[in-house]
Amino acid sequence: MSFATGATPIWPVPPDWADGVRETLDWLTNYLPARNGKAQKRELRQAPRRVIEFSVINDEQGRRVADAILNDAGGRYWLLPIWHDVQLLNAPLASGAITITCAPAGRDFRAGGKALLWLAVNDWAVLDVEDVVDGALVLSTATSRTWQAGTRLYPLRKAHLVEQPQETIWTDESGTRSIQMLIDEPCDWVAGLPAATYRGVPVLELRPDQGEDLQQTFRRLQEPVDVGTGLVTLFDWGGRAFREASVTWLAYGVEANNELRSLLYGLRGRMQTLWVPTWNNDLKVTNDIAAASTHITVEWAGYTVFGRMQPNRRDIRIELLDGTVYYRRLTDAQESGDSELLTIDSALGVLVQRQNIRQVSFLVLAEKASDTAELLHDTDIEGLTRLTTAFIGVRNDDI
């Protein structure tokens, strides 16, 4: 333990995992919208601000320690353990060791950073990390004592309290606090965008979880003019709808958690534009699609009248039950009784039987609806993380 007067303290009391750990990534985009729906965007942060929020149950010694350090150091910087990146030592760590065998990949360890060995609120050590290699951390200085198997290993980040936490006191020796800390150093990560592309733009192929209801609406740049004495005049400056829809993703395990974080870093808040499927069965195919055919017969859905190959209603994603996906553009539509005959820009090249089609969705050229993304870590990184965010369509005249 290295608590010392004037030294940067760690936050030593672990979170109550009943409510998980919330991590907010906040980019900053200078967004200048025009009346017609176009926008000029400028990225103002190279890395997002990162806020970690968690609750602690202060019980006996833990309460006394938390009370003491908040009273003394609540206005200073802290070394904050990244709770969801925890792992346990598989074997005892000897005194004098300069490497720690562990699984650093996908966790927030970095060369030149710090790590924490933790056994209790008063039994821990801060370590300087010289390098991160495959399967181990290389330390700048050797350990000064032996650490038993099962000791917790955390990455550390420099942070400060967003606001002073309020304690709910249950008894004279127990209570709870909600802690919210802003990390005060750049948190870089490998950015990644979807590998699939259509018309030179990435296509989001990470299907959302529908265990909970999702939301969607059509935004319009509409302005009513009401002088109070006559009819109301409406101006629709964009002349079109901009679909906004929420998605919820569940990431389980280190690899899936890393892919989700890389996607968020690739999107950079509102900066990145990409194709987002509606993930709805927007068009129901009623006949098989021949290999050389450029026509698709669908159940009447009003597309000829209301769709009319408008931007963000003219590009489709055809998904088969075996996972095969085709992207096509609609170039014509005609009504035919209870059906509609849609023309696509190129044939699929293979016979597609209608019973093998899982879904036909519209593709919407979109961006994230906000610069903020909130990750809810139900467990550590080897378990479950949840993310709910939203995408909104952008003006698409040229793609």
Helical ranges in the chain per DSSP H = 61-73, 254-267
Q: Are 249 and 376 spatial neighbours (Cβ–Cβ below 8 Å)?
A: no
Q: Are 90 and 386 spatial neighbours (Cβ–Cβ below 8 Å)?
A: no
> Residue 312: what pLDDT?
93
Q: How far apart are CA 146 and CA 241, in angstroms?
A: 64
Q: What is the DSSP string of 211-235?
A: SS---EEEE--EEEE--SSSPPEEE
Alpha-carbon torsion, ordered 292, 295, 298, 301, to 10 deg: 150
User: Domain coordinates of the chain in residue numbers?
Assistant: 21-183, 197-393
> Residue 108: what pLDDT?
97
> Residue 6: what pLDDT?
56
CA 358 vs CA 9, 21, 284, 339: distances in Å? 55, 36, 10, 19
Q: Are 394 and 275 spatial neighbours (Cβ–Cβ below 8 Å)?
A: no
Rg (CA), the chain: 27
Helical ranges in 318-370 per DSSP H = none
- What's phi and psi for 265, nearest 5 deg? -70, -30
Which residue, 218, 273, 274, is CA-closest to 241?
A: 218
Alpha-carbon torsion, ordered 138, 144, 149, 150, to 10 deg: -80
> Residue 66: what pLDDT?
85
| pLDDT tens digit at each of 399 positions of the chain | 556 555 688 999 999 999 999 999 999 999 999 989 899 999 999 899 999 999 998 777 888 888 888 888 888 999 999 999 999 999 999 999 999 999 999 999 999 999 999 999 989 999 999 999 999 999 999 999 999 999 999 999 999 999 999 888 888 888 889 999 999 899 999 999 999 999 999 999 999 998 888 999 999 998 899 999 989 999 989 889 999 999 999 999 999 999 999 999 999 999 999 999 999 999 999 999 999 999 999 999 999 999 999 999 999 999 999 999 999 999 999 999 999 999 999 999 999 999 999 999 999 999 999 999 999 999 999 999 999 999 999 998 888
> Residue 172: what pLDDT?
83
Q: How far apart are CA 115 and CA 138, in angstroms?
A: 11
Region class of 166: left (phi > 0), else alpha (psi between -120 and 50), else beta: beta
> Residue 64: what pLDDT?
85
- The one-letter code for the residue type at 184 is D
Q: Are 204 and 259 spatial neighbours (Cβ–Cβ below 8 Å)?
A: no
Q: Are 189 and 110 spatial neighbours (Cβ–Cβ below 8 Å)?
A: no
